[in-house]
């Protein structure tokens, strides 16, 4: 059952805003994940198995060695996964 109420709505809106923000897709994805994890911790949204899987996939796409810059493939993967996560947030 999806979370309801002002906190859930605000968390979903914040995720969408981070996802659509101007800037590099990788940085936007990191910001979206931080907000989403905070919403989970606060109880505003409930984790779903699919969201957990998508978060794991996103973290792999964002993984980098120190000093390494993430390129186009990471950015495209982040955009793809974030769009799927935005759809799944309706169930969180």
pLDDT in tens, 7-53: 999 999 999 999 889 988 888 898 999 999 999 999 999 999 999 99
Tell me, yes or no, whether 76 lies in a domain.
Answer: yes
Predicted confidence at residue 69, as pLDDT, reads 59
HSE-CB of 66 using CA atoms within 13 angstroms: 0
Q: Which residue has the higher pLDDT, 31 or 69?
A: 31
The answer to whether 3 and 92 have CB atoms below 8 angstroms apart is yes
Tell me, yes or no, whether 1 lies in a domain.
Answer: no
Range of the domain at 70: 6-91
Terminal C-alpha separation, the chain:
7
Tokens 């309801």 correspond to 4
Predicted confidence at residue 3, as pLDDT, reads 85
Domain count, the chain: 1
Instruction: Name the nearest CA neighbour of 31 among 23, 65, 7, 49.
Output: 23
Instruction: Name the nearest CA neighbour of 25 among 67, 86, 82.
Output: 82
If you average pLDDT over residues 42-66, what whole number do you get?
A: 86
């Amino acid at each position: 059952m999806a979370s309801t109420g002002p906190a859930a709505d605000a968390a979903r809106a914040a995720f969408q805003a981070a996802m659509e923000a101007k800037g590099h897709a990788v940085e936007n994805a990191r910001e979206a994940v931080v907000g989403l994890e905070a919403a989970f911790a606060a109880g505003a949204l409930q984790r779903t198995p699919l969201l957990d899987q998508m978060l794991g996939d996103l973290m792999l796409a964002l993984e980098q060695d120190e000093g390494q810059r993430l390129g186009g493939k990471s950015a495209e993967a982040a955009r793809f996964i974030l769009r799927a996560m935005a759809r799944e947030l309706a169930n969180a």
